[in-house]
Amino acid sequence: MAKISFPYMGESVVAYKKIGHMLGHEVIEPPKPTQKTVDLGVKHAPEFACFPLKVLLGTYLEEIALGADLLMSSGGHGPCRAGYYGEMHRKILRSLGYEGHLIIFDAPRDHLRDFYQDLKRIKANNSWIYCYHVLKLVYRAIKIMDELEQKVSRLRAYEVKTGSVNRAWEQIQELVNQAFTLPQLEAAQKEGHNLLDSLEMIPVKEERKLRIGIIGEIYVVMENSTNMMMEQKLGELGCEVRRSQYLSDWIDFNLLPHWISHPHEAEIQKMGTKYFDIGIGGHARENMGWIDQFSNWGYDGIVHLLPFGCLPELMSQSIIPQVSKDLNLPIISFALDEQSGLANNLTRLEAFVDLIKAQKFGVKQHILQQKAAG
Amino acid sequence: MNIGIPQALLYYYYYPLWQPFLEQLGAKTIVSKPTDQDIIHQGSRVSVPEICVPIKVFNGHVNELLNKGVDYIFAPRMVQVEKGLTFCPKFLGLPDMLDYTFPAHKNQMLAPQIKGTNEWSVSSQDLQKEPFFAAFDKSRLEAAWQIGVKAWNRFREICRRGYLIPEALDLYQKPDLPKVKNQQGEIKIGLIGYVYDIYDKLVGMEICQRLQEMGADLSTFEMLQDKDIDRQIDPMKKSLFWTFSNKVFGAGLHFYQQPEIDGIIHVTAFGCGPDSLSGKMMELDAEKYGKPFMTVRVDEHSGESHLQTRIEAFTDMLKRRKRLRLIELGVRS
Ligand code: SF4
Ligand code: SF4
C-alpha cells in the first residue's frame, strides 16, 4: 500500500483523507500551508508562476519529506495555466530527484491508458463496488461539511466569545473525519448543528446584518491560509460571509451528470455570459455570474480574491469597476502572492467594510455605533 | 465608413488578412499610430495596473482611435486557429474587457469570434453575430475573407523567406515576392517572443535593429515552416494550450537544435502567464543543449540603455564563443 498524500485546499482535505483511509492506504496528512511551505514552493517554482502553483509545490515537497510516495491531484486542460500545473510540478519534482510520485487525474479522454493505470494504483485491491460506495459516502460528507461551513461563516459575525465558532468548526471537521458510515455521518451532521446552535450569539436585527460574498480564483478562495484568513477576518468585522466556491458545487458541476446534480453553478455560468461571452479560463465567467447572484440576494459587498498576475481574474478585475457602478455594489479586489503585505491589505479590508457600513446605515449612525463600541 | 485597427497585439501577424477583408466590405481602414509614450499613457489610464503591457498598449490604441472618431474598432475575439489549441485568456476575454473599459462605445466594437481549425476556415455565422457583418450575406463575407487570406499567405511566405515582420509588411503588396533574404552577420540569434512584444517600437525597444547593428542575423518563429515547429511540439505528452505560446516555444526548441544558431534571446512581458511556464522550460533546456539563452523582460518602464548593455554583452559573448569554436575546428586561427 502506498503512502498517499494530496494538495491542501480547504475542506477538500477531509474528502481526500477519507478516500485514502477507506481504500486502505496509509495517509500522510497534508500539512496546512504556512510561510515555510510558501518559501519552499517559491524556491523551486518558476519565478513568475502563479501563486497557487508555488504553494502546491511547497506542499508536495513537505509531504514527500513526511514520507509520502504517492501524491494525487487533478489536472485539467486549458485555457488557463492550471491545466499545466501537473506537468510543471512533475518536471520540477523530477529535477529534484522524485520520479513517479505525482499522479494527476486528467480527463480520461486525454490519456485513457494513463488514467486507468493511475486509477488502479489508487484503487489497490478493493472491488469497484466498494470504491463506488466510498465515493458516495465521501460525496455525502462533503455536502454535510459545506452545509455546516456556510453556517459557520454566517455565525462568526455574531459570536459573543471570540473564537468560539472557529473552535466549534474544528470539532465539526474532526467529527466528520471520524465518520465512516452513513449513520455515523448523519450523527456528525446533527451534532455539528447542535454544537453551533448552542453557542452564545449577539442578537442582531435582520436589517442590521451585513453580508459579503467572496469570489475569485478557486485555490485562494478555498484555502484560507493563502487569503489572509479572509472569511474569519470578515467575520470578526461583523460580516456574514458566503463564498462562490464550495467543494460540493465543484463536484456537482464538474464530475456528476447535470441531470442528476442540477448544479446551481450552471445557472451561475449562464448569468456570467452577460459579462464574458465565452469561458476564458479559471472561473472568471462564473465569478461574474456570482456578482449578479450576490447582488440579487441583496448582499452588501463583494471581496474579489486573485493570485497576483492571474490571467482570467485580471480580466474580471478589468471589468469589475464598471459592473460595481452599474449594480451599485461595492467590490474590492485583493491580489495575493508570497509578498502580499498583510498589514496593508487588512487596512484596506477594514476601510472597505467601514465604507459599506457607512453606506448602509448612514455615516452618523455608524460613528455613534463605533463610539458606543469603543 | 471607417474602421480603426489598433496597431497592437495580433495586428503584427494578421493585418495583411484583416485589412483587405474589411476593405472588400466597403470600409476604409485606419491604423493607429505606432506605440509611443502618449499611447502608453492612454492605455495605462484605463487598464488594471497589474495587467501585462501588451494589453495596456492595446487599450491605449483603442482609446487613441476612439478619440480620432473612427466609426468602428476591429478587435476580433481570437479563440482558435489550430485544432485543439486556443489563445491566452486575455485574448479570449478581450472584447468583454473593451465593452466595460469603454462603456460609451460598446456599439462601435467589431468583435467577431474567430474560431476555426486554421486561418482560412472562418465561420461566416460567427461573423454575422456582429450587426455590422450581418448586413452582408454569407458568400460575400467568405469571399472577402478569402481575399484577405490570399494577401496574408503572401505576407507569411515573405516571413518564411527570412524577413522580419516590419519588412514583410512593407513588401507583401509589391507585385513580386522578394528573394530569400541574404544574411551575412557574424553570428546568428534565434529571437523568440510574441510579435506584439518584439515588433512594438516602444515595448520591444527596436531590439531587432539593435541586434543587427551588432552584427547578428536573426531568426524568428514566423520565419519557420509550420512543420519545424510541430515537430518539436507533437512528441510532448501535454503541449501548452495556446497557439502563439506553442509557436514561440516550438521555435525555441527548434533553434536549440540548429547548429547555425549561436544563441537564443526570449523577449517576454512582465506578468505574462503562458511565458512563466514556457520561458522556464526553455531556460531549463539551455543546459541540455549547451546553447546560451537570455530572457529579456519588458514592460512600459523598461529602459533602453539597460537593454543595450545586456544584449551587447550577450552578442559579445556569442562572438567569442563562435571564434573559439572556429579555431577549434581549424577554420580560423
Ligand atoms: S486561473 Fe489564475 S491562478 Fe489559476 S492557473 Fe490561471 S492564472 Fe494561474
Ligand atoms: S500571452 Fe502573455 S503577453 Fe500575451 S496577452 Fe497573454 S499574458 Fe499578455
Pair B4, B65: CB distance under 8 Å: yes
What does the pLDDT read at residue A341? 66
What does the pLDDT read at residue B331? 72
Q: For chain A, what is the domain count?
A: 3
Q: Can you say whether the dihedral through the CA atoms of B181, B185, B190, B191 is positive or negative?
A: negative
**Biggest CA-to-CA distance, chain A:** 68
pLDDT digits (tens, 9 = 90+) for B73-83: 999 999 999 99
> Are A374 and A268 part of one and the same domain?
yes
What does the pLDDT read at residue A72? 84
> Are A353 and A258 part of one and the same domain?
yes
pLDDT digits (tens, 9 = 90+) for B275-291: 998 998 898 888 889 89
> Are A254 and A365 part of one and the same domain?
yes
Integer Cα distance of B267 and B198 in angstroms:
7
Q: Which range (B110-124, B172-186, B233-247) has the least confidence?
A: B233-247
Ligand nearest to the CA of B50: 2
Pair B8, B58: CB distance under 8 Å: yes
CATH assignment at residue A37 = 3.40.50
Pair A231, A156: CB distance under 8 Å: yes
pLDDT digits (tens, 9 = 90+) for A148-193: 999 999 999 999 999 999 999 999 999 999 999 999 999 999 999 9
Residue A197 lies in a domain: yes
CB contact under 8 A, B238 and A87: yes
Q: Is the peptide bond before A79 cis (omega within 30 degrees of 0)?
A: yes
> Are A156 and A19 part of one and the same domain?
no
Helical spans, DSSP H, in A198-338: 218-222, 230-236, 247-254, 258-261, 264-272, 284-296, 311-327
DSSP lists the bridge partners of residue A103 as A72
Residue A196 lies in a domain: yes
DSSP lists the bridge partners of residue A72 as A103
Integer Cα distance of B321 and B38 in angstroms:
42
> Are A162 and A200 part of one and the same domain?
yes
Question: What whole-number percentage of chain B has pLDDT above 70?
Answer: 99
Name the one residue in this structure whose C-alpha cell is 501524491.
A71
- The backbone torsions φ and ψ at residue B246, rounded to the nearest 5 degrees and listed phi first, read -65, -40
Question: B193 CB under 6 A from ligand 2?
Answer: no
CB contact under 8 A, B93 and A276: yes
Q: Is the predicted ipTM greater than 0.85, yes or no?
A: yes
Q: What is the distance in A from the centroid of ligand 2 to the CA of A200?
A: 51
- A343-370: average pLDDT: 82
Closest Cα of chain A to B171: distance in Å?
A: 35
Kindly tell me if the per-residue pLDDT of B127 is higher than 90. Answer: yes
Band (pLDDT 50/70/90 cuts) for residue A344 is confident
Integer Cα distance of B82 and B77 in angstroms:
15
pLDDT digits (tens, 9 = 90+) for A286-336: 999 999 999 999 999 999 999 998 999 999 999 999 999 999 999 999 999
Which range, A105-119, A253-267, A339-353, B12-26, has the best average confidence (pLDDT)? B12-26
What does the pLDDT read at residue B42? 97
Q: Which residues does chain B have within 8 Å of residue A315's beta carbon, measured at their own beta carbons? A: 89-90, 93, 96-97
> Are A336 and A322 part of one and the same domain?
yes
> Are A238 and A331 part of one and the same domain?
yes
What does the pLDDT read at residue A251? 82
CB proximity list for B37: less than 8 A, separation 6 or greater: B202
pLDDT digits (tens, 9 = 90+) for A274-297: 999 999 998 999 999 999 999 999
- B23-49: average pLDDT: 96
Strands (E), chain A: 3-5, 26-27, 70-74, 102-105, 210-216, 239-243, 301-307, 331-336
- B90-104: average pLDDT: 96
Integer Cα distance of B273 and B270 in angstroms:
9
What does the pLDDT read at residue A107? 59
Q: Can you say whether the dihedral through the CA atoms of B118, B120, B125, B130 is positive or negative?
A: positive
Question: B8 CB under 6 A from ligand 2?
Answer: no
Closest atom of ligand 2 relative to the B91 alpha carbon: 5
Kindly tell me if the per-residue pLDDT of A367 is higher than 70. Answer: no
Nearest 5°: CA angle at A97, between A5 and A80?
60
Q: Which range (A120-124, A291-295, B160-164, B199-203) has the least confidence?
A: A120-124
- B116-135: average pLDDT: 92
CB proximity list for A345: less than 8 A, separation 6 or greater: A228, A334
pLDDT digits (tens, 9 = 90+) for A71-90: 988 766 667 888 888 888 98
For A60-80, give one letter per residue: b (16+ CB within 10 A) or e.
bbbbbeeebebbbbbbbbbbb
CB contact under 8 A, A319 and B273: no
Integer Cα distance of A301 and A333 in angstroms:
11
**Residue B117 CB-half CA count within 13 A:** 2
User: Which mutation among B194, B244, B268 tests ligand 2's pocket best, with the greatest number of atoms within 8 A of CB?
Assistant: B194
Average pLDDT, chain A: 89
> Are A25 and A112 part of one and the same domain?
yes
Q: In terms of CA atoms, which chain B residue is nearest residue A334? A: B50
In terms of residue numbers, what domain contains A65?
3-126
Name the one residue in this structure whose C-alpha cell is 504556512.
A34
Kindly tell me if the per-residue pLDDT of A111 is higher than 80. Answer: no
What does the pLDDT read at residue A374? 46
CB contact under 8 A, B95 and A277: yes
> Are A101 and A156 part of one and the same domain?
no
- CB-CB neighbours of B234 under 10 Å: 10
Among candidate residues A94, A126, A158, the one where a domain is terminated: A126
> Are A234 and A371 part of one and the same domain?
yes
Among candidate residues A177, A204, A231, the one where a domain is terminated: A204
**3 state DSSP class of A27:** strand
What does the pLDDT read at residue B297? 95
Which of B241, B275, B281, B298 to mutate to test binding with chain A, by most A CBs within 10 Å of its CB?
B241
Kindly tell me if the per-residue pLDDT of A368 is higher than 60. Answer: no
Integer Cα distance of B280 and B284 in angstroms:
6
Residue A137 lies in a domain: no
Question: What whole-number percentage of chain A has pLDDT above 70?
Answer: 93
> Are A284 and A304 part of one and the same domain?
yes
Pair B229, B250: CB distance under 8 Å: yes
pLDDT digits (tens, 9 = 90+) for A21-43: 888 889 999 999 999 999 999 99
CB proximity list for A107: less than 8 A, separation 6 or greater: A75, A76, A77
Closest Cα of chain A to B73: distance in Å?
A: 18
Instruction: Provide, for chain B, the percentages of residues in helix, strand and coil under a 3-state DSSP scheme, each rounded to the nearest 5.
Output: 55, 15, 35
> Are A167 and A117 part of one and the same domain?
no
Closest Cα of chain A to B264: distance in Å?
A: 19
